[in-house]
């Protein structure tokens, strides 16, 4: 039975789903070295933002197939390291959108009306009505940095409260922004004009310290900043300084460069700085959503099915996968076949998509071909997650060509591998019933389904050669299931493709190569 480690607090709904297919161990608050120690025994890891899945953890995770992040941000996971190791990383892109957006709005209003301090004041027996005179958000300008799922919902709510909306997001079209009711502006203008600035971007090298002393200097003394996205996007020391000196009016932060925050100049600030302990996603509803969303994906992957929100398998969405499944099998088989014909190191792979294959998204097909190509070298270690990266690291150049015209088959795939031992090519197609047929080997036309044990020869087309190979195999007690010959011209060169019931015993290939007229011979196991 598979084993799943849940290392952050996850809603029971997720645990219940995982328990249907695996042994689930919930161990939260593990020290880093303890996680490294126990991770080798697990097939899946389910986390939130607290567990740091470092390169060290991943290197130790010999069995791990999937890391499920019950939330959005995967910046606590070394995704490139996971990808290299063939581990799928999934998240829940929408499960906590509303929760995070509502928390940003809550912080904006709390900041405008000093709710946390007013509450503390009343509870301590005071009645300080003058001290807590606030500001309205109505008709104020809200600058939204990052107009994705959370940013868009914040925009909708803010618009309903009568706010004017500016947005900065280099990856969103003007039309989309206008549809949401936002005016797209550059960051500089947003900093200068906004009364409130709310961040809804991922933490990346580009967004780290986006709000630094220089940016803060551009803002109005009445500006208030809300960060419900990620710590590290704001330079916390510069922010504390800006509020203290009255360069801006205040800030409300849910996320920090280091969590838990511990000692920080931000903790010394008064009512104009509000801090919450990364609560954006912490609603009952969101926690059920993300737990179910991610647990279902872990369950599916453990059952050998695709994940719907993998962050490190480009283009391999379940609906695409389902449609392309037969072609992925074809690509993988041909990749495996051509690598065995090539024998040695492959330097480049030309992937030619023909007919209806050329009209589909080619990325998954190319990945499947690479997975097949690398199977001989990496066996089970290569999968859809790491095939591209493994090929790249081996210096395999991938060239993709396509031709929409339909020829003999509705769709066919041609792979050409150039390597240290020469050039080989195979073409394959799917028959009506989805059966794979190899239709060409090294430009010789044939028509055979791939089988487990195969023998390919390149020989001179001359009488007697086929009989000699048959007798030779018979003398070694190898049974031939089927045989086909392909040639371009009579008595020129030809290929022979034999499907064998048994693997070729050692030494037989050498004997075959001694038969007069045989130029080359390859055994292939698919």
In the complex, the residues that contact ligand HPV under the rule CB under 6 A are 48-49, 70-73, 96, 278, 280-282
Q: Does 459 bind ligand NAI (CB under 6 A)?
A: no
- Tell me which of ligand HPV, ligand NAI, none is bound by residue 205, counting a contact when its beta carbon lies within the kind-specific cut-off of 5 to 8 angstroms: none
CB atoms under 10 Å from CB of 96, counted, come to: 25
Instruction: Please say which residue, 58 or 150, places its beta carbon nearer to ligand NAI.
Output: 150
230 labelled catalytic: yes
Out of 96, 198, 336, 442, the residue judged to bind ligand NAI by CB under 6 A: 96
Instruction: Please say which residue, 226 or 391, places its beta carbon nearer to ligand NAI.
Output: 226
| Backbone torsions φ then ψ of 422, nearest 5 degrees | 110, -160
Instruction: Please say which residue, 182 or 441, places its beta carbon nearer to ligand NAI.
Output: 182
Q: Does 326 bind ligand NAI (CB under 6 A)?
A: no
CB 267 within 8 A of CB 275: yes
Instruction: Please say which residue, 139 or 179, places its beta carbon nearer to ligand NAI.
Output: 179
Q: Which positions ≥6 away from 240 have C-beta within 8 Å?
A: 264, 265, 266, 268, 269, 273
Instruction: Please say which residue, 143 or 335, places its beta carbon nearer to ligand NAI.
Output: 143
103 labelled catalytic: no
DSSP 3-state helix, strand, coil percentages of the chain (rounded to 5)?
Answer: 35, 25, 40
- Tell me which of ligand HPV, ligand NAI, none is bound by residue 366, counting a contact when its beta carbon lies within the kind-specific cut-off of 5 to 8 angstroms: none
Instruction: Please say which residue, 278 or 371, places its beta carbon nearer to ligand HPV.
Output: 278
Tokens of 209: 């310290």
Q: Which positions ≥6 away from 367 have C-beta within 8 Å?
A: 316, 384, 387, 388
* Gyration radius of the chain over CA positions: 31
Size of the site for ligand NAI (CB under 6 A): 31
Q: Does 319 bind ligand NAI (CB under 6 A)?
A: no
CB atoms under 10 Å from CB of 304, counted, come to: 7
Instruction: Please say which residue, 145 or 295, places its beta carbon nearer to ligand NAI.
Output: 145
Tokens of 100: 């995070």
CB 387 within 8 A of CB 438: no
CA angle 270, 271, 272 (to 5 degrees): 95
Tokens of 415: 């792979």
> Residue number with the shortest CB distance to ligand NAI?
148
Out of 127, 171, 380, 506, the residue judged to bind ligand NAI by CB under 6 A: 171
* Cα–Cα distance for residue pair 346/338, rounded to 1 Å: 10
Out of 17, 147, 180, 369, the residue judged to bind ligand NAI by CB under 6 A: 147
Min separation Cβ 210 and ligand NAI, Å: 7
Q: Does 358 bind ligand NAI (CB under 6 A)?
A: no
Catalytic residue among 69, 153, 278, 352: 278
Instruction: Please say which residue, 10 or 368, places its beta carbon nearer to ligand HPV.
Output: 10
Min separation Cβ 75 and ligand HPV, Å: 8
Q: Which positions ≥6 away from 62 have C-beta within 8 Å?
A: 40
Catalytic residue among 224, 230, 352, 414: 230
Out of 18, 45, 47, 100, the residue judged to bind ligand NAI by CB under 6 A: 100
Element housing 3 (H / E): strand 2-6
Q: What is the DSSP string of 219-247?
A: S-TT-EEEE-S-TTSB-HHHHHHHHHTTS
Q: Does 202 bind ligand NAI (CB under 6 A)?
A: yes
CB 132 within 8 A of CB 114: yes
275-314 positions binding ligand NAI, by CB under 6 A: 278, 280-281
Instruction: Please say which residue, 209 or 376, places its beta carbon nearer to ligand NAI.
Output: 209
Catalytic residue among 214, 259, 393, 423: 259
Out of 228, 358, 473, 498, the residue judged to bind ligand NAI by CB under 6 A: 228
CB 283 within 8 A of CB 295: no
Tokens of 193: 């004009």
Out of 22, 144, 168, 321, the residue judged to bind ligand NAI by CB under 6 A: 168
What binding mask, one character per residue, do residues 66-85 give for ligand NAI by CB under 6 A, x or -?
-----xxx------------
Distance in angstroms between the alpha carbons of the first and the last residue of the chain: 28
- Tell me which of ligand HPV, ligand NAI, none is bound by residue 150, counting a contact when its beta carbon lies within the kind-specific cut-off of 5 to 8 angstroms: ligand NAI
**What is the side-by-side strand order in the sheet with 422-430?**
397-403, 346-355, 411-419, 422-430, 436-441, 444-448
- Tell me which of ligand HPV, ligand NAI, none is bound by residue 145, counting a contact when its beta carbon lies within the kind-specific cut-off of 5 to 8 angstroms: ligand NAI
Min separation Cβ 48 and ligand HPV, Å: 3
Of 117-125, 213-221, 223-231, 425-433, which segment contacts ligand NAI by CB under 6 A? 223-231
**What is the side-by-side strand order in the sheet with 44-47?**
22-26, 2-6, 44-47, 66-69, 88-90
List of residues contacting ligand NAI (CB under 6 A) = 71-73, 96-97, 100, 145-151, 168-172, 200-202, 206-207, 228-230, 254-255, 278, 280-281
Active site residues: 230, 259, 278
């Amino acid at each position: 039975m598979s084993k799943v480690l849940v290392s952050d607090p996850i809603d029971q709904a997720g645990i219940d789903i995982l328990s249907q297919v695996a042994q689930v161990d919930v161990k939260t608050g593990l020290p880093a070295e303890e996680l490294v120690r126990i991770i080798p025994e697990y097939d899946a890891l389910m986390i939130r933002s607290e567990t740091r899945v470092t390169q060290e953890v991943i290197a130790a995770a010999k069995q791990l197939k999937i890391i499920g992040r019950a939330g959005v941000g995967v910046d606590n996971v070394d995704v490139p390291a996971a990808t290299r190791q063939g581990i799928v990383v999934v998240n829940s892109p929408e499960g906590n959108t509303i929760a995070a957006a509502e928390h940003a709005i809550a912080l904006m209003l709390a900041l405008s009306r000093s709710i946390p301090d007013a509450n503390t004041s009343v509870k301590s027996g005071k009645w300080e009505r003058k001290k807590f005179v606030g500001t309205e958000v109505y008709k104020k300008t809200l600058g939204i940095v990052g107009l994705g799922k959370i940013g868009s919902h914040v925009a909708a709510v803010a618009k309903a409260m009568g706010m004017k909306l500016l947005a900065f997001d280099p990856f969103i079209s003007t039309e989309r922004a206008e549809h949401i009711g936002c005016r797209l502006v550059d960051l500089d203008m947003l900093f200068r004009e906004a009364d409130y600035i709310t961040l809804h971007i991922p933490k990346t090298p580009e967004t780290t310290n986006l709000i630094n002393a220089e940016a803060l200097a551009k803002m109005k003394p009445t500006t208030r900043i809300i960060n419900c996205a990620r710590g590290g996007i704001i330079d916390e020391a510069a922010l504390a300084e800006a509020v203290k000196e009255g360069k801006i009016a205040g800030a409300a932060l849910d996320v920090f460069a280091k969590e838990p925050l511990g000692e920080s100049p931000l903790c010394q600030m008064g009512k104009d700085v509000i801090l919450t302990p990364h609560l954006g996603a912490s609603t009952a509803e969101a926690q059920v959503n993300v737990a179910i969303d991610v647990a279902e994906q872990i369950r599916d992957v453990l059952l050998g099915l695709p994940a719907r929100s993998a962050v490190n398998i480009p283009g391999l969405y379940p609906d695409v996968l389902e449609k392309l499944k037969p072609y992925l099998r074809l690509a993988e088989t041909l990749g495996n076949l051509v690598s065995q014909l090539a024998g040695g190191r492959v330097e480049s792979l030309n992937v030619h998509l023909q007919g209806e294959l050329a009209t589909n998204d080619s990325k998954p097909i190319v990945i499947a071909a690479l997975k097949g190509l690398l199977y001989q070298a990496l066996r089970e270690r290569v999968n859809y997650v790491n095939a591209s990266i493994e090929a790249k690291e081996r210096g395999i150049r991938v060239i993709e060509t396509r031709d929409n015209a339909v020829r003999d088959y509705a769709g066919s795939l041609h792979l050409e591998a150039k390597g240290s031992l020469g050039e080989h090519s195979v073409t394959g197609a799917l028959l009506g019933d989805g059966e794979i047929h190899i239709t060409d080997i090294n430009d010789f036309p044939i028509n055979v389904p791939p089988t487990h044990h195969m023998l390919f020869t390149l020989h001179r087309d001359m009488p007697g050669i086929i009989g000699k190979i048959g007798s030779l195999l018979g003398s070694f007690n190898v049974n031939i299931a089927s045989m086909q010959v392909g040639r371009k011209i009579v008595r020129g060169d030809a290929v022979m493709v034999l499907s064998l019931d048994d693997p070729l015993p050692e030494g037989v290939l050498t004997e075959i190569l001694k038969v007069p007229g045989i130029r080359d011979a390859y055994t292939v196991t698919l």
